[in-house]
Structure 1
Amino acid sequence: MSSPASRSRSMRAADTDRIQVAQLLTDAAASGTIGVSEYESRLARAYAAQTCDELDRLSADLPGAITRGRSGTCRPAPSSTLLAILSGYERRGRWNVPKRLTTFALWGGGVVDLRYADFTAHDVEIRIYTIMGGQTILVPPEVNVDLRGVSVMGSFDHSIEGEGAPGAPCVRISGFALWGSVTVKRKKRKAA
């Protein structure tokens, strides 16, 4: 007969469980406990994990690790808007990615860098609007991307190299560019 603890570890992992382990791994990488290559490897396995036991094995040796018996709550960050009017914006480093993000650039530009960010939802929607400017979105190797956008006398990038990892967050990017550009690039994290 299996014990309650062994049954809970063999429970199927929820998206919230995977997001919590991803955040724990990000903390470990930021503090130097694990290196970038180990972080990316563990992160891909965390997003692909099917059970809580798999997630526990990936994070058991890290400070702050907990054994999951049930899915924790993980609330998405509030929707946000980034504006660049005759100016620019940058969203880089460690930050919480909301479920919905809107960006707007008028005669300006901006960069949304998701490589070091914490995803608070499995499915993220980014609406991006550019008029006579340019915006760039940088995504890490494991994230899945769905691009849909239009351009008039400008460009809206519809190609991104590489595939994301199974179970990793999916970023859906839509919007338009008028006399401007929207570029999406898959880019690796830099070693510390």
Structure 2
Amino acid sequence: MSSLSEDLPRRVGEDERDEAVRRLQEAYAAEHISHQEMDERLDQVLTATTHDQVEAALAALPREEQGTTATITAATGRIERRGAWRVPRHLKVESAFGKVRLDLSRAVIEHPVIDIELHLGTGRASITVPRDAVVDFDDLHTGLKDTRYTPPRHRGPGRPRIRVSGVMGMGRLRIRHARR
């Protein structure tokens, strides 16, 4: 005999709903689903009340790869990544007083969306992204200096999508697209 609570469908929580929205947006960015299909599925997720309804909206999506997360930390000094380095799905960079330079122009990027989370004190940061990348830094909070970024004049379909978030104290972030 089963209890009444086992028979009731599991209600969807806000974290689960947010994760489903993120997966749909990434599937759209990777061109796995059309704009119309994303809109329909977003509506399903946002109005869902149970876990099963959310799962139904995500059912035909490609299996989500368990992307890697890496953290680079330095109290002082320089943090630098360049050349043919493998970019993890989530990259967290923490530095109290140093300079940060991330060059993704020749890096191995295996994910359609890369999240770079910066936590910097007084140092400055420079990020070079691939020529065709789409950059979003709306979730980055800066202290004294604004972020310097000039989007490319000619936009293609835009791959990959680089999302920069976090907190910068007194330093400045400069984002530029590779020339080649």
TM range (shorter): 0.5 to 0.7
Any unmatched runs of 5+ in structure 2? 1-25, 32-62
Deviations 1:8-29 (A, max 9, x none): xxxxxxx9xxx9xxxxxxxxxx
Query: For residues 152 and 94 of structure 1, do their structure 2 counterparts lie closer, same or farther at Cα, with a shift above 3 Å needed?
Result: same
Query: For residues 115 and 74 of structure 1, do their structure 2 counterparts lie closer, same or farther at Cα, with a shift above 3 Å needed?
Result: farther
1:88 to 65, 78, 92: 78
Tell whether 2:83 aligns with 1:97: no
Q: Larger Cα Rg: Structure 1 or Structure 2?
A: 2
The residue that corresponds to 2:57 in the other structure is none
Distance 1:162 1:76 in 2: 34
1:1-192 alignment, distance < 5 Å: 75=65, 78-148=68-138, 149-157=140-148, 159-162=150-153, 164-166=155-157, 168-189=159-180
More displaced stretch, 158-167 vs 116-125: 158-167
Instruction: Judge conservation of contact 2:149–2:176 (CA < 8 Å) in 1.
Output: no
Displacement over 4 Å in runs of 4+: 73-77
Of structures 1 and 2, the one with the larger relative CO (CA 8 A, separation 6+) is 1
Q: How many residues align?
A: 122
Percent identical pairs in the alignment equals 24
Any unmatched runs of 5+ in structure 1? 1-14, 20-46, 48-72
Distance 1:85 1:143 in 2: 30
Deviations 1:24-71 (A, max 9, x none): xxxxxxxxxxxxxxxxxxxxxxx9xxxxxxxxxxxxxxxxxxxxxxxx
Cα RMSD of the aligned pairs, angstroms, is 2.8
TM-score by length of 1: 0.55
Instruction: Judge conservation of contact 2:134–2:162 (CA < 8 Å) in 1.
Output: yes
Distance 1:94 1:74 in 2: 25
More displaced stretch, 162-171 vs 127-136: 162-171
TM-score by length of 2: 0.58
